[in-house]
Amino acid sequence: MPSFQSVQLNLLKVTFLIAGFAILANNSTVFSQLAPPVAAKKPKTDIIHGDVRVDDYFWLREKSNPEVVNYLKAENAYAEQMLAETKPLQEQLYKEMLGRIKETDLSVPYRYGDYYYYSRTEQGKQYAIQCRKKGALEAVEEVTLDLNKMAEGKTFMSLGAYEVSDDGNLLAFSTDSTGFRVYNLQIKNLRTGEMLSDHAEDVGSVFWAADNKTLFYTTKDAAKRSYRLYRHVLGSDRYDLLYEEKDERFNVYGGRTRSKAYLLAYTSSLTTTEARFLPANTPMSEWQLLAPRKQEREFDIDHHGEQFYIRVNDTGKNFRLVSAPVSDPSEQNWKELVPQREEVMLEGLDCFANHYVLYERKNGLQQIGITDFTTGASHYIEFPEPVYTAFASTNREWNTNLLRYNYQSLVTPGSIYDYEVSTRKSILLKQNEVLGGYEPTQYRSERIYATAKDGTRIPISLVYKKGFKQDGSAPLLFSAYGSYGAPAFVNFSSNRLSLLDRGFVVAIGHIRGGGDLGKAWHEQGRMLTKMNTFTDFIACAEHLIAQKYTAKDRLIIEGGSAGGLLMGAVTNLRPDLFKAVLSHVPFVDVINTMLDESLPLTVAEFEEWGNPKKKEEYDYIKQYCPYTNLAAKNYPTMLVKTSFNDSQVMYWEPAKYVAKMRALKTDQNPLLFVINMGAGHGGASGRYDRLREIALDYAFMLQQVGMGVNVAP
């Protein structure tokens, strides 16, 4: 059994090899013989439902333990050495991707009150600069926040809330400087630049009342659950606790309607919603219950005139639209405007002064429908491609004839449009520039269908460069997510061109557990039907091979977070099907995590994964839990990535997973583990640092298909 001393010895070996890199950099034989770090086994035994569980690597949870930190550093050093031959390629990929980006750029300004707000980037700076101009775009620029200055001396910086008071004088904002999702609230006087003394720690939602001095915000508990709603009048020492949610399945969040007339506060689980409202001009009055919680009833609300508009799933899983009088919004007064439709998922709602907008999904594609309040006439925005993504952009104005939306596809860069409701015309405001001569006609996208083991047709979106030969010779990157009802977006990526230009096909699986084909699609891949998510993915991979888009020895799969769970499950089920696996912040220790109610997300997610304290649900989770099902067999080459400060999937899940797989696997394929020691769930926060991470991922993929040294596309 390996001891801590052997771990230290391996670390010393790795350190020695780093020191000798100048001599050994081109000697791939040396790297192939390099022994990986070995984590000590310290068995911890638990019994649940009569099932004896032994966890040899539970000790890796000890974040402050130097032995843990040394092990993670040894893994980083080992991965760096194993990927040493790809260093020139990583640099080439980084330069390619950077060369396609307009480093000094400007977002499309949006109007809010008397100001136009926008962000801009400057060459060489990691973060966006938040700005505004009063009255006209020709006015003098005011910098409201410069995250580059705020990030000085820090390895991570993320902007959370960014809310300006109605008079435009005060900015309430929150930032996280660790990656652990601890967003602290500050108030800035935009007239003077002064930071006020008012503050709060670990906040979620932040929203203003109409008096320009009363602020509402939510705070989180130790498990990162937003559970309290506070009210604070600026300049006072009172931070009034208005509501505390006791049920650990529920989170508290809130906001203000676009009409500015009402404040809304929700308490919501993954399946059930409750809401309260308050006139924005009477912030000291009592919140009123708008709709109480009923198990399995979800909704969200907007406002227009004397009515609330409610998107609700009370008559069907795909939601309907109802109105309710503000004077008495109780359920008996609801009036149906749009019924629940089996073929259409109603995903969202926005109200404006003269019309409302419905965001829908039909046949896996998004639709944007607009209805006139006066006439009741409805129409849809038309989109030019058969497969695309379209969603609302920033729409802060209430009385407007314009709807701003984002449109993109696998071959069309992200584009911001203003849609004129009266003329039904879309006006292109900005399309993200792809520097270096990108030509969309040189790439092709398509949608195909695989057949799942139960006969269900599973959509797959594909993109590749013109000239692709469907003969099984092409390398293919296949990614999917398949959880929480989240659809897999067919988005554009200029970074992806570095793979496509080297002959890769890129495929996205719209598997069950996601929301691609409505709520039923989610229901068929959660709780006691979760196995569908994994078998759908395998069916898609087999179809891609059978149709000769790729071959087993050319197929690379990728997923992150719950998509990392997907990677772990399918790799256990069919390790022979994939050449290599790239797994980001993977949720792989499902049983142990869902048994620990002190961890972030655990209790709230019983309604997604199940509660292993219930025997039926424990038995089902045990079928697919990646960590539990690791076995002595051959596995494909793997690159597992995590962040030390991840609060959503703790670093120790992938750490334990890698350690256990190393001890069990019977193959000689590399197993690499890369840990960002200064970031959270999303990886690096700086845009240049993020490109470096992607360059490493792509270099790993190219290395696995024999292109790891060739730097030219």
Q: Which residues are catalytic?
A: 561, 646, 681
Alpha helices, DSSP H, located in 197-274: none
The H or E element that residue 384 is part of is: none
How far is CA 136 from its chain centroid?
35
Residue with tokens 């007339």: 261
How far is CA 93 from its chain centroid?
24
Residue with tokens 């919004």: 329
Count Cβ atoms within 10 A of the Cβ of residue 442 and give its class: 0-12 exposed, 13-18 middle, 19 or more buried: middle
Q: What does the alpha-carbon distance between residue 268 and residue 69 come to, in Å, rounded to a whole number?
A: 37
Hey, which residues does 639 pair with through a beta bridge? 582, 672
- CB pairs under 8 A, 24+ apart, for 348-351? 348/300, 348/311, 348/392, 349/300, 349/302, 349/309, 349/311, 349/321, 350/258, 350/302, 350/392, 350/395, 350/403, 351/257, 351/258, 351/259, 351/302, 351/303, 351/304, 351/309
DSSP state of 108: P
Residue with tokens 């038995």: 619
- Residue 451 near residue 576, CB atoms below 8 Å: no
Q: What does the alpha-carbon distance between residue 517 and residue 508 come to, in Å, rounded to a whole number?
A: 14
Q: What does the alpha-carbon distance between residue 318 and residue 523 come to, in Å, rounded to a whole number?
A: 11
Residue with tokens 């040189």: 442
Hey, which residues does 299 pair with through a beta bridge? 312
Helix 615-624 × helix 531-546 angle, to 10°: 20
What is the distance between the terminal CA atoms of the chain, rounded to a whole angstrom? Answer: 46
Residues 6+ apart with CB under 8 A from 54: 43, 44, 45
- Residue 100 near residue 436, CB atoms below 8 Å: yes
Reading phi first (left if > 0) and then psi (alpha if -120 to 50, else beta), residue 608 is in alpha
Residues 6+ apart with CB under 8 A from 11: 37, 70, 71, 73, 74, 77
For the residues of 455-467, what is the DSSP string, one character each?
A: S-EEEEEEEEETT
CB neighbours of residue 607 within 10 Å = 17
Summarize the chain as % helix, strand, coil (round to 5): 25, 35, 40
Phi, psi angle pair for 182, to nearest 5°: -100, 95
For the residues of 633-652, what is the DSSP string, one character each?
A: S---EEEEEEETT-SSS-TH
Alpha helices, DSSP H, located in 610-686: 615-624, 652-664
Q: What does the alpha-carbon distance between residue 158 and residue 176 come to, in Å, rounded to a whole number?
A: 5
